[in-house]
């Protein structure tokens, strides 16, 4: 935090504010964060009773009136000299979102083989299952314009680590321009993230977004309609003739699966 505050004070040409979002920490984070907010200019602390990285991010951004909101890993895995190139396209109106990426030409990354494999496999899955056009879904160095933040966050359901991916996928589906910035990134040595639990939660998030596409909904409706028709046909063939049962079953399933329109 002292390094970040020093960088922003000396090298960042715009006004700024730093929020330390403490979400139900069980160590000394609340005490240290409170002391830092007293000592460092423009540094504030936000305390939440419930866990969840996405929940903390949502609370911090929702309370902000900044033109651009951004976040980064607390261990400063990404070099701070990339912060200005990250927010500049948003302030100029060139893009609505900006993300750091470790997976394009120009990025320099230092991390272990296991995390490298997991990251590339996950991003490959996001590309295949969700047709993502951005290269890195979870760099932890992202920014977006404050005037679209509320609309996007209101559509995001995840309250944990998948929020990054969901936010970007929803922005892409809304055709919002996303700027990608290659970064210098170094793996933090003291990460306490449960990789297995996080990976499983991310997979559930990918599956949820995948079935929310129009094509997936069309396929799902078709399957449900076919199964419902078959069950109704079997049930109606007892009191009715096969021709009458077929007609009634088709009529009921057609009405039940007809798209609803609103005023």
Does residue 263 register a pLDDT over 50?
no
Does residue 88 register a pLDDT over 60?
yes
* 75 catalytically annotated: no
Among the listed residues 18, 16, 11, the one whose alpha carbon sits nearest the alpha carbon of residue 74: 18
In this structure, the answer to whether residues 17 and 114 fall within a common structural domain is no
Predicted local distance difference test score (pLDDT) of residue 75: 87
Supply the CATH number for residue 204's domain. 3.90.550.10
Phi, psi (degrees; rounded to nearest 5) at 160: -125, -135
In this structure, the answer to whether residues 159 and 31 fall within a common structural domain is no
Does residue 218 register a pLDDT over 70?
no
pLDDT tens digits, 171-208: 999 999 999 999 999 987 766 667 778 888 898 999 99
In this structure, the answer to whether residues 228 and 145 fall within a common structural domain is no
How far, rounded to the nearest angstrom, does the alpha carbon of residue 231 sit from its chain's CA centroid?
40
Predicted local distance difference test score (pLDDT) of residue 252: 57
The length of the chain is 263
In this structure, the answer to whether residues 108 and 1 fall within a common structural domain is no
In this structure, the answer to whether residues 161 and 63 fall within a common structural domain is yes
Mean pLDDT of 40-57: 92
Domain-located, residue 261? no
Predicted local distance difference test score (pLDDT) of residue 112: 87
Q: What is the mean pLDDT of the chain?
A: 85
- pLDDT band at residue 146 under the 50/70/90 scheme: very high
Predicted local distance difference test score (pLDDT) of residue 181: 97
Does residue 261 register a pLDDT over 50?
no
Domain-located, residue 160? yes
**Cα 74 to Cα 27, 61, 123, 153, 261, distances in angstroms:** 15, 16, 22, 21, 46
In this structure, the answer to whether residues 80 and 129 fall within a common structural domain is yes
In this structure, the answer to whether residues 125 and 77 fall within a common structural domain is yes
Predicted local distance difference test score (pLDDT) of residue 262: 43
Does residue 102 register a pLDDT over 90?
yes
In this structure, the answer to whether residues 47 and 58 fall within a common structural domain is no
In this structure, the answer to whether residues 113 and 30 fall within a common structural domain is no
- pLDDT band at residue 128 under the 50/70/90 scheme: very high
Domain-located, residue 263? no
Domain-located, residue 189? yes
Mean pLDDT of 83-110: 96
Domain-located, residue 262? no
Which of 96, 158, 164, 202 is an active site residue? 164
**Cα 157 to Cα 82, 165, 194, 219, 262, distances in angstroms:** 29, 11, 21, 23, 24
In this structure, the answer to whether residues 57 and 39 fall within a common structural domain is no
Does residue 14 register a pLDDT over 80?
yes
CA dist 20 and 35 (Å) reads: 11
In this structure, the answer to whether residues 94 and 132 fall within a common structural domain is yes
Helices 163-173/113-130 angle, 10° precision? 30
Number of folded domains that form the chain:
3
Mean pLDDT of 199-221: 75
In this structure, the answer to whether residues 117 and 244 fall within a common structural domain is no
Predicted local distance difference test score (pLDDT) of residue 220: 47
Q: What percent of the chain has pLDDT over 90?
A: 62
Residue ranges making up the domain that contains 59: 53-210
Which residue has 């996001």 as its token pair? 126
- pLDDT band at residue 41 under the 50/70/90 scheme: confident
Predicted local distance difference test score (pLDDT) of residue 42: 92
Does residue 100 register a pLDDT over 60?
yes
- pLDDT band at residue 258 under the 50/70/90 scheme: low
């Amino acid at each position: 935090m002292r390094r970040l505050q020093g960088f922003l004070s000396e090298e960042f040409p715009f006004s700024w504010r730093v929020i330390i979002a403490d979400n139900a920490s069980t160590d000394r984070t609340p005490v240290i964060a409170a002391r830092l907010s007293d000592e460092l200019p423009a540094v504030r602390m936000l305390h939440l009773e419930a866990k969840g990285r996405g929940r903390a991010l949502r609370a911090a951004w929702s309370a902000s009136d900044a033109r651009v909101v951004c976040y980064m890993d607390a261990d400063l895995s990404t070099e701070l000299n990339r912060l200005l190139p990250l927010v500049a396209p948003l302030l100029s109106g060139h893009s609505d979102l900006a993300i750091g990426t470790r997976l394009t030409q120009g990025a320099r990354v230092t991390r272990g083989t296991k995390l490298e494999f997991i990251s590339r496999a996950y991003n490959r899955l996001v590309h295949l299952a969700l047709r993502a056009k951005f290269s890195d879904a979870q760099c932890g160095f992202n920014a977006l314009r404050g005037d679209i933040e509320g609309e996007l966050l209101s559509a995001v359901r995840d309250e944990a680590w998948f929020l990054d991916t969901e936010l970007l996928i929803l922005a892409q589906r809304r055709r919002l321009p996303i700027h990608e910035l290659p970064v210098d990134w170094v793996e933090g040595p003291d990460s306490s993230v449960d990789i297995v639990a996080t990976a499983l939660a991310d997979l559930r998030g990918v599956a949820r977004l995948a079935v929310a596409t129009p094509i997936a909904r069309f396929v799902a409706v078709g399957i449900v309609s076919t199964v419902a028709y078959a069950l109704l046909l079997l049930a109606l063939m007892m009191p009715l003739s096969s021709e009458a049962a077929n007609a009634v079953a088709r009529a009921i399933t057609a009405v039940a699966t007809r798209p609803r329109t609103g005023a």
